[in-house]
Structure formats: structure tokens, C-alpha cells
């Protein structure tokens, strides 16, 4: 078993509807677009007696996104080990200077970073849709993206996000990753044009699935396509056995929050990354 095998397996097992949002195997799956080697280099795993207790993803040079085993959320020894590792650049987790940590709310680790002088950063809104009941239809044509249509999906994502570097090659790299076995990519059409895209990631039956990413082509906005593709993605997660669909977006992105609300998602309490200046 590789580090990535262990990390993805642990992240799947830790997803629960009764706990705050935390790093999801789909987040690692989305990062896999940069290739397996880059993904392995970005993942950090903390163990005790061979058991994985925490997983981190270095999502860019200065942001560590963390998940912690549910029964270790208040573990003092683990919290101190995590805090020591992220605070000391020589330990190879985060560099010197301004850095950020995303960790689950209500954990001792998060409390300890605050005690050590880390500040709250910009707020994020998590939203959740219960999938115990059928999801309304999208009302537009939606297709599942197979490998032969990867360029179509990638083109919509690039046209949805100003700084996106997503390409057909990166789609195939993402699809080669371990988490993609539990994922679906979908494209919604506006007439004959591919106009919105989504990738959804299951963590297995009875666990929350995550949306990462969802975007609407800049030429097709204002037509309800964000809601439509989100509903289609949620329905795909339900078919995969997910208990809920979860997404996290900056609270400042009012358009995204409104889109998810329009698709029936309920906003959860805001969360904040922590920042060391």
C-alpha cells in the first residue's frame, strides 16, 4: 500500500454527516489532475502505531488542508504533533512566512493553532444537500463525460474560471487517480453548446459526497445552468449511494452560494481557514 492508498482510504472512512466538513477524498482526486507524483508529494500523513490519524493536502505552496480521524478530534498528543509540524518550516509541511491551514471545526488542533497566535482568515460557506429523497431533474440535456469527451469538459471548466489551467491531459491524469473510481463528470448543454460542467466525488455508500469543481461557461451565465448541473451532480451522487452532497465555497462568492441554495442546498455555519502572518 502506498501513502496515497492509505490517505484516500482514511479520508473515505472519516466522512460523516454528523461532523463538520473536512478534507474529502474528492479533494485529493481533483488535485490528481497534476499527476500521481505531484499528488503524492502534496499529501502528508500522520500515524500512530501504524494507524492513520490525520491527512493533509498541500493545496498550493502555502495552504495545508487537513482531515482528522473522528475519534482523534480532541487527541491532545496528535494536536500538538500537528501544530508543531505546521509551525516549524524545517519539518517540511509548510514553508516560512505567511501560510494557511484549513482544519475541521471543533478539533483540538484548530484550538491549539489559535492559542499559538494563528488568526482567522476569510470566511467560507459549506452547504449540504440531503440525498435521502430523489433529486429534481435538471431540466436541460446533461451528459456523462467519458474519456473521449474529456476535451469538452476541460474547455467548459477553463471558460468558467479565469485562471484555470485545466486541459484534456489533466482530465485524463485526474481520471487515472484512485478517487476517480467513485466520481462522475457531467456536462450540461445550452442548445448545442456545452455550457456547464461538474465533477462529483463519492466517499462510498452512506457517506457524504463532494462537488469539486462546478462551473458555468462565461458565455452562458444567468440562465439557470449552474442550478441545473448541480442538480445533475447531486443525482449522480445519490446513484452512487452518497448520503448527502457537500460543497464549500468562499462566502464572498455570493453567486456560487446562491446557485447552491437554488439547487436545494442548506448553508452550514461559516468556517475560517487559519493564517500565520
Delineate the domains of the chain, giving CATH numbers in brackets: 3-123 (3.40.630), 128-272 (3.40.630.30)
Q: Would you state the pLDDT for residue 1?
A: 74
Q: Would you state the pLDDT for residue 140?
A: 98
Per-residue pLDDT of the chain (277 residues; tens, 9 = 90+): 799 999 999 999 999 999 999 999 999 999 999 999 999 999 999 999 999 999 999 999 999 999 999 999 999 999 999 999 999 999 999 999 999 999 999 999 999 999 999 999 999 999 999 999 999 999 999 999 999 999 999 999 999 999 999 999 999 999 999 999 999 999 999 999 999 999 999 999 999 999 999 999 999 999 999 999 999 999 999 999 999 999 999 999 999 999 999 999 999 999 999 999 9
Predicted TM-score of the model (pTM): 0.97
Q: How far apart are the first and last CA of the chain?
A: 37
Q: Residue for cell digits 501544530?
A: 83
Q: Would you state the pLDDT for residue 8?
A: 98
SS (H, E, C) the chain: CCHHHHHHHHHHHHCCCCCCCCCCHHHHHHHHHHCHHHHHHHEEEEEECCEEEEEEEECCCCEEEEEECHHHCCCHHHHHHHHHHHHCHHHCCCCCCCEEEECCCCCHHHHHHHHCCCEEEEEEEEEEEECCCCCCCCCCCEEECCHHHHHHHHHHHHHHCCCCCCCHHHHHHHHCCHHHHHEEEEEEEECCEEEEEEEEECCCCCCEEEEEEEEECHHHCCCCHHHHHHHHHHHHHHHCCCCEEEEEEECCCHHHHHHHHHCCCEECCCEEEEEEC
Give the contacts of 214 (CB within 8 A, at least 6 positions apart).
196, 197, 198, 199, 226, 229, 230, 233, 247, 259
Q: Would you state the pLDDT for residue 70?
A: 98
Write phi, then psi, for 253 (nearest 5 degrees): -85, 75
Q: Would you state the pLDDT for residue 33?
A: 98
Q: Would you state the pLDDT for residue 127?
A: 98
Amino acid at each position: 500500500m502506498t501513502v496515497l492508498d492509505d490517505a484516500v482510504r482514511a479520508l473515505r472512512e472519516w466522512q460523516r454527516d454528523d461532523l463538520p466538513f473536512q478534507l474529502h477524498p474528492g479533494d485529493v482526486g481533483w488535485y490528481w489532475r497534476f499527476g500521481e507524483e505531484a499528488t503524492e508529494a502534496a499529501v502528508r500523513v500522520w500515524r500512530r502505531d501504524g494507524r492513520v490519524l490525520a491527512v493533509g493536502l498541500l493545496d498550493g505552496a502555502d495552504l495545508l488542508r487537513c482531515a482528522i480521524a473522528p475519534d482523534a478530534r480532541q487527541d491532545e498528543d496528535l494536536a500538538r504533533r500537528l501544530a508543531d509540524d505546521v509551525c516549524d518550516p524545517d519539518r517540511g509541511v509548510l514553508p516560512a512566512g505567511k501560510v494557511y491551514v484549513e482544519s475541521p471545526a471543533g478539533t483540538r488542533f484548530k484550538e491549539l493553532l489559535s492559542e499559538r497566535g494563528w488568526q482567522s482568515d476569510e470566511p467560507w460557506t459549506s452547504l449540504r444537500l440531503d440525498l435521502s429523497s430523489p433529486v429534481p431533474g435538471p431540466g436541460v440535456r446533461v451528459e456523462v463525460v467519458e474519456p473521449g469527451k474529456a476535451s469538452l469538459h476541460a474547455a467548459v471548466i477553463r471558460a468558467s474560471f479565469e485562471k484555470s489551467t485545466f486541459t484534456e491531459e489533466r482530465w485524463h491524469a485526474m481520471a487515472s487517480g484512485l478517487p476517480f473510481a467513485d466520481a462522475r463528470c457531467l456536462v450540461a448543454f445550452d442548445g448545442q453548446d456545452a455550457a456547464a460542467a461538474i465533477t462529483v466525488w463519492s466517499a462510498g455508500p452512506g457517506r457524504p459526497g463532494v462537488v469539486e469543481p462546478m462551473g458555468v461557461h462565461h458565455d452562458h451565465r444567468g440562465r439557470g445552468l449552474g442550478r441545473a448541473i448541480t442538480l445533475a451532480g447531486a443525482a449522480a451522487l445519490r446513484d452512487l449511494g452518497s448520503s448527502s452532497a457537500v460543497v464549500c465555497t468562499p462566502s464572498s462568492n455570493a453567486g456560487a452560494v446562491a446557485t447552491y441554495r437554488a439547487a436545494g442546498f442548506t448553508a452550514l455555519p461559516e468556517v475560517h481557514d487559519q493564517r500565520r502572518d
